[in-house]
């Protein structure tokens, strides 16, 4: 029984990392039927990389002339309606493994390069501003936690992320206000009244001891 439990535990430890989110590049592209492609946005975030599928298109990351990662996929310029309708553009989001040293994004069609896009300066330009395509994951020195970088970080890290929808980031939730105890305030009021009365009585007694009242001056009778 103990051996079975150990086996299941080992399997769980192997499976869990496979479903854990890792740092990725989320790349938003527009493909045109005239064999051109346009980069709309590149975001470093947590997610899952796209698995390669048979197709004539590919996207890869390049650093110093070396391929860091590559993904193949198909593109069909058609809407599968009834009847099918041909179109000229396709929007597609590609997720690639994150490599901080990546310099270029390269898109190919049937092995021929149709786009080479410089991403190095756009992902972290170290200008102390959270701009271009920078996020906390690609450039934490320009986009520290709590910056508006288009990526919702919902971890409880002490920073309310402005990119998260309401109720997503626990750091953005209002702290519960302490309940008002009416009996506490009532007791404080009574105590204050007693203190005021005590001070008044003591001050009155003190003034009387300093200036004692004179006995009444009755008229004298002469015999």
Choose among 38, 25, 40: nearest CA to 103: 25
* pLDDT of the residue at 199: 78
Burial class (CB in 10 A: 0-12, 13-18, 19+), 118: exposed
Tell me if 161 is assigned to some domain: yes
116 with 167, same domain: the answer is no
Write the DSSP string, 117-131: EE-HHHH---SSS--
Residues 172, 179: Cα–Cα separation, whole Å: 21
Tell me if 204 is assigned to some domain: no
Q: Tell me the average pLDDT of the chain.
A: 85
- What share of the chain in percent tops pLDDT 70? 81
Average pLDDT of 182-208?
78
149 with 129, same domain: the answer is no
Say if residue 18's pLDDT is above 70: no
Say if residue 176's pLDDT is above 60: no
Tell me if 15 is assigned to some domain: no
CATH code of the domain containing 32? 2.60.40
Q: For the range 64-73, what are the long-range contacts, defined as Cβ-Cβ under 8 Å and sequence gap of 24 or more? A: 64/101, 64/103, 68/97, 68/99, 68/101, 68/102, 69/96, 69/97, 69/99, 71/96
pLDDT band at 14 (very low <50, low <70, confident <90, very high): very low
- Record the pTM: 0.66
Bridge partners (DSSP) listed for residue 39: 29
Say if residue 180's pLDDT is above 70: no
63 with 162, same domain: the answer is no
54 with 124, same domain: the answer is yes
Tell me if 139 is assigned to some domain: no
60 with 159, same domain: the answer is no
Most confident of 15-24, 73-82, 101-110, 186-195: 101-110
| Domain hosting residue 163, numbered range | 145-175
Bridge partners (DSSP) listed for residue 59: 71, 107
Range of lowest pLDDT (87-96, 114-123, 173-182): 173-182
The domain total for the chain is 2
């Amino acid at each position: 029984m103990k051996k079975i439990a150990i086996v299941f535990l080992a399997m769980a430890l192997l499976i869990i990392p496979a479903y854990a989110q890792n740092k990725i590049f989320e790349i938003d592209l527009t493909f045109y039927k005239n064999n051109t492609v346009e980069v709309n946005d590149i975001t470093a975030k947590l997610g899952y990389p796209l698995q390669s599928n048979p197709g004539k298109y590919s996207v890869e990351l390049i650093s110093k002339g070396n391929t860091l990662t590559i993904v193949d996929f198909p593109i069909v310029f058609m809407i599968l309606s009834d009847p099918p309708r041909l179109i000229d553009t396709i929007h597609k989001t590609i997720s690639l493994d994150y490599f901080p040293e990546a310099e270029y994004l390269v898109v190919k069609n049937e092995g021929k390069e149709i786009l080479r896009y410089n991403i190095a300066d756009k992902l972290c330009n170290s200008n102390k501003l959270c701009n271009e395509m920078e996020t906390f994951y690609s450039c934490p020195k320009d986009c520290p936690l709590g910056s508006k970088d288009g990526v919702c970080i919902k971890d409880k890290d002490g920073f309310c992320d402005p990119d998260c929808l309401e109720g997503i980031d626990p750091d953005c939730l209002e702290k519960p206000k302490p309940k008002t105890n009416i009996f506490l305030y009532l007791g404080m009021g009574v105590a204050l009244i007693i203190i005021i009365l005590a001070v008044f009585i003591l001050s009155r007694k003190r003034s009387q001891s300093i200036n004692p009242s004179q006995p009444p001056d009755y008229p004298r009778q002469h015999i």
